[in-house]
Structure 1
Amino acid sequence: MFKKLLSVSGFTLLSRITGLIRDVLQAAILGHGVLSDTFVVAFRFPNWFRAIFGEGTLTPAFVPRYAALHGKGELEAAARFGDQVFSWQILIQAVLLVVALLAMPWVIAATAPGFGEHPGQMDLATTLSRITFPYLIMTVVVVQLSGMLNAIDKFWAAAAWPNFLNLSMIACLLLAFLFPNAAYAAAWGVTIGGVAQFAFMIWAASRDGLRLRLVRPRWTPEIKEFFKAVGAVTFGTLSITALPFVDTILASFLPAGSVTALYYADRINQLPLGVLGIALGTVLLPDMSKRLAIGDVTGSDAAQNRSAAMALLLTLPFVAVFLLIPEPIVRAILSHGAFDAKAAAQTALVLAAYGLGLPAMVLIRIVAASFYARGETGTPAKATMTSIAANMAVKFITVMGLGWGVAGLALGTAIGAWVNVGLLLWFSRRAEYLHILPQLRRAVGPCILAAVLAGAGAYLGVMLVEPLGLAHLAKFWRDLATLGLAMLLSAICYGAAVLAFRRYLPLRRS
């Protein structure tokens, strides 16, 4: 499992690096205002629907069933099942694409009503969204091929394909002078990136003998069971996906730049979340599904506990760092070109709020695997729906009541994630699906200590900037030096703690 995790996390880390370069360039060119807010909304549309029809549905509803068939050696049945799911997906996505392109003006008016206060912003958002939306139909195929590869223990391609979107957007932003404005360049980068991802995954899957054929969609017992699972998962996913819509609606009424601050803070938060959460969830779910299919409950429990310990070890340090030095992080990464100091300060507050929920966002995937690996999708949906109430309550209290602005939206997301984890733990323990083993309990204390030391090291690094004379550097170099020193001392402190308590931590290869 450790080797698989390294494979996934390595390519995912590469995609986060290219994504970071993309964000830095995007922030410098689009800035922090009307143009940037408009593109962010247009970019979110295909990603919202991807969360519903892509990873959010296929991972829990398709992958366990496909992996179980492969695990039992029923390769032809697995191929037929994959072709049927693919054909149904294409049919649904084609209808959705046509409806979305026709109805986009009304969709934008409903989801970003505050844009109407700025002349031309509503029309621009509609045009950009029509450019980006076709990305969805390509990415759902990519997600299915990724799931099929993961099910046969081939992880690298599924972790590598997001790089193509980042590279495409970078290229288009650098050629922004060829477009009506930079927002158009970024939007076309999304769609071109989708084409590149599609071509790459078709090639990667064919190398391992996997292909998807477009066949006549049939209502077979397997497809009926699949859509039953999809219904339950989609119910829960829709509730999660609705929250960004609510965030956008609320943020569109806040001062210009609020949507952008929410987007960039989430992007920085996604650096560890994407690398760790995606890697752990990608490896764990098919592993548990195959083990349970052959009756290896002990092995399934051990894999899940190990993933949970790894999640705590790798996410808690980021919580400490995001809480203690959010502004130096944002300044060093984004505060260039049109992205000014005011934008950095606002984004830093949002980042700190998001950071509180980072471990929970990873643990959700790990605990929910208790149900998804057994083909049960209804219980996670119940937990998600219940957590929405806490999420929404916090958002309306902090934004509408306390006037905390866009940071209140992020805080609601963080608290909702922890409620979700708590409910999943309770449900899984009650069903006797989850067994917390001694090795996980022993790891909790060292994980917390390592995180505290990591945060202390980062804070010390920022405090040493002036005594070391770095404060006299030009702004660009000062910001980079501050973050570099903070990260160096943080890594040293964290590494010392991990080394001292290594026998209690999930570091053994398996």
Structure 2
Amino acid sequence: MSLARNTLVQAGFTLLSRLFGYARDRAISNLLGAGWVGDAFATAQSFPNLFRRILAEGAFSQAFVPFYAKTQAESGNDQAAEIASQAFSVLTLAAATVTILAQLAMPWIMLVLHGGYADIPKAFHFAIVLTQITMPYLVGMAMSSLFSGVLNTAGKFALSAAAPTLLNVTILAFIIWEREPTQVAVNAAVAITVAGMLQAGALYIGCRRLGVRIGFRLPRLTPEVKAIMAVMGPSVIAGSATHINVVVSQALSSYEIGAKSWLYAADRLFQLPLGLIGVAIGVALLPRLARAVAEPEKGGATKALDEAFVLSMAFCLPAAAALVVVPFFLMQGFWTGGDFRSSDARATADALFHYGWGVPAFVLIRILAPPFFARGDSKRPMNFAITGVMVNVALGAGLFFGLRALGNQGYVGLAIAASVAGWVNALLLATTLLREKIWHPKPLVLGKLARIMVATGTMALVLGFAGLNRVPIEAAFEARFFFGKELATLLVCFVGAIVYAATAFLVKAVTVSDIKLAMQRPTNAGPIGPDDTL
């Protein structure tokens, strides 16, 4: 498939998962509210989610996919499957070990992640129990990451992109009939672990249908596994920078009751463009880059990066503009309800605004790191990621305690620091690729970017006008429709999207020929697997 086709498959199923995820998060926030129960569940979900995002959305695949694809090309499917089985056995054992150790050490881990509640025993111990319940999710995600890597290498993106929907559906099934907040939180925590196993099972079946037989072996550090781990170690650090920053923010925000819930809600919205665009393109880009590096004379690497950059900016810039221009409109419309009140939406919107201008950086990290990994260079992305983390920790702590000293709430400073750190990481990656001429974008790319910015600016003006008239717009819809404010927010988003698309075509940021070219299947890159419909 072409990069655009693969990205659309990945993004389409990711969007389906995010829609179910919205239903899940809306139900949880409305049932738990922004208090100690909501903060405890946000902690219990964020800790294993850190590993999910590191493993399932990039770092392991960045280490495993190039090695697996090379082995498959040079030694055949049977040898590649054997290496996958060896890696699967070691990875599963490692994940299980980390899970057990983390569960035993959770009271001490929670002093870091949830230290602000240490003087409130009931809330602190509840967070410990919930996180111990959710930790086995890591084992399921470790297995899923390997199965997804096998499927993606074969050009099968649909199943791996659709699998996370199981998490959202399972949680909804476990909480839909419950109303007592602490029991809702416990049920949701149990559902997370159950869903991890369901996802792994679905992806394993997908690999079997593909003809790849992956089984458990006696875990051994074979030369092949060591080679994967040598790349994976730095890749884990490099790929996890954004999420480590989120965890740092969560840890500091525990010193303000409700702030963790607000940051979690803001994180869910700003993760939408990151998941739909950055992760989708990054996952589709890595196998293509791995093939291009093996055939440098064809110049496929630069072409793939040009396409990925333009495609990502075409989607993420308008998304970022919406988060910056109408953050309260979005939170009030999509999140307020039950125990999550308008005051909570206002507090969340303050953080969402600052996450918003960091979205392009977070997406660029996903696009600009794969060229390094495809060449077996994981150390420099790791170093850049560490730099970003250091900036986030130092700036975040400084702003958090500085704002509190001035009598303001400090959690907004954490969102500012996360976005600044994201831009530091992205700029380090970009300048290195440009300086070493690994990526030398054509002039057409810069022209497209300028036109995309014009279309984004036009859309932002329309959204700004809607934001100024939010109250009468919501009132008109609530007087006529059930879920009126949600429909009003959807309509505003839809109008903004139409204005952006129309302006993009008008200024030729996107043309019909661009779309046709992007959707074409390359003649020299047929599928690895037996079919394209898995």
Confirm or deny a common fold (TM above 0.5): yes
Distance, in Å, in 2 between the alignment partners of 1:466 and 1:74 is: 63
Where 1:172 maps in the other structure, the secondary structure is helix
Q: Which amino acid aligns with 2:163?
A: W
Q: Aligned to 1:32, what secondary structure does the other structure show?
A: coil
Bigger drift between 245-254 and 214-223 goes to: 214-223
Is 1:244 matched with 2:250? no
Moved more, 334-343 or 198-207: 198-207
C-alpha contact 1:461 1:489 (8 A) present in aligned 2:
no
Letter in 2 for 1:34: W
CA distance in 2, matches of 1:137, 1:246: 23
Rounded Cα–Cα distance in structure 2 between residues aligned with 1:21 and 1:469: 20
Matched, 1:269 2:275: no
Aligned twin of 1:152: 154
Counterpart in the other structure of 1:229: 231
What's the offset of the Cα at 1:17? 0.6
Aligned partner (choices 4, 7, 14) of residue 5 of structure 1: 7
Identify the residue that residue 95 of structure 1 maps to in structure 2: 97
Matches within 5 A, 1:265-344: 265-344=266-345
For residues 465-507 of structure 1, the C-alpha deviation after alignment (integer angstroms, 9 at most, x for no partner) is 5667945845975523541342233123102112213465653
Matches within 5 A, 1:113-192: 113-176=115-178, 181-192=183-194
CA distance in 1, matches of 2:114, 2:34: 17
**Structure 1, 258-267 or 119-128: larger mean CA deviation:** 119-128
Aligned residues: 509
Instruction: Give the alignment's TM-score, normalised by structure 1.
Output: 0.94
The amino acid that maps onto 1:324 is: V
1:371–1:433 CA contact under 8 A, matched in 2: no
| Aligned counterpart, 1:429 | 434
Q: Deviations over 1:170-206 (max 9, x none)?
A: 1111132599621101111211211221221112221
What is the rounded CA distance, in whole Å, between the counterparts of 1:397 and 1:42 in structure 2?
A: 26
CA RMSD of aligned residues (A): 2.2
Match of 2:528 in 1: none
8 Å CA contact 2:63–2:228 kept in 1: the answer is yes
Answer yes or no: is the 8 Å Cα contact 2:14–2:162 preserved in 1. yes
Query: Is the counterpart of residue 260 in structure 1 residue 261 in structure 2?
Result: yes
Once the two structures are aligned, what percentage of the paired residues are identical? 31
Equivalents in 1 of 2:87, 2:482: separation in Å? 50
Q: Is the Cα contact below 8 Å between 1:462 and 1:483 reproduced in 2?
A: no
> Do 1:462 and 1:482's aligned partners in 2 also have CA atoms closer than 8 Å?
no
Q: Using the alignment, how far apart are the partners of 1:55 and 1:174 within structure 2?
A: 28
The Cα offsets for residues 24-68 of structure 1, whole Å up to 9 and x where unpaired, read as 111111111110100110111211233444445312211121123
Q: Which runs of 5+ in 2 are unaligned?
A: 521-534
Residue 411 of structure 1 pairs with residue 411 of structure 2 = no
- Does structure 2 retain, via aligned residues, the 8 Å contact 1:179–1:185? no
Displacement after TM superposition at 1:387 (Å):
1.9
| Residue equivalent to 1:447 | 452
1:488 to 481, 489, 494: 494
Looking at structure 1, the residues matched to 178 and 395 of structure 2 have their Cα atoms a distance apart, in angstroms, of 39
The separation in 1 between residues aligned to 2:482 and 2:47, in whole angstroms, is: 34
> Could you list the per-position Cα deviations for residues 441-482 of structure 1 after superposition, in whole angstroms to 9, with x for gaps in the alignment?
121111101111121122223345566794584597552354
Q: Quick check: 1:52–1:234 contact (8 Å CA) kept in 2?
A: yes
Change (3 A) 1:357 1:503: closer
Q: Distance in 2 between matches of 1:468 and 1:249?
A: 38
Letter in 2 for 1:458: L
Q: 1:119 to 1:222 in 2, by over 3 A?
A: closer
Q: Residue 203 of structure 1 is aligned with which of 202, 205, 209? A: 205
3-state SS in 1 of match to 2:338 = coil
Residues 472/39 of structure 1: CA separation in 2 closer, same or farther (3 Å cut): closer
Distance 2:473 2:55 in 1: 52
Greater alpha carbon shift after TM alignment, 225-234 vs 270-279? 225-234
Q: What is the TM-score of this pair, normalised by structure 2?
A: 0.90
Structure 1: tracts of 5 or more residues without a match:
none
Indicate how the Cα distance of structure 1 residues 297 and 385 shifts in structure 2: closer, same or farther if over 3 A, else same: farther
Contact 1:63 1:147 survives alignment (8 Å)? yes
- Please, which moves more after superposition, 498-507 or 451-460? 498-507
Please give the alpha-carbon distance, in whole angstroms, between the structure 1 residues aligned to 2:132 and 2:474: 51
Give the Cα–Cα distance (whole angstroms) in 2 for the partners of residues 466 and 176 of structure 1: 33
CA offset digits 1:201-225 (Å, max 9, x no partner):
1122211112321112333332222
| 1:462 correspondence with 2:467 | yes
Q: Residue in 2 aligned with 1:81?
A: 83
Instruction: Output the CA distance in 2 between the equivalents of 1:81 and 1:471.
Output: 61
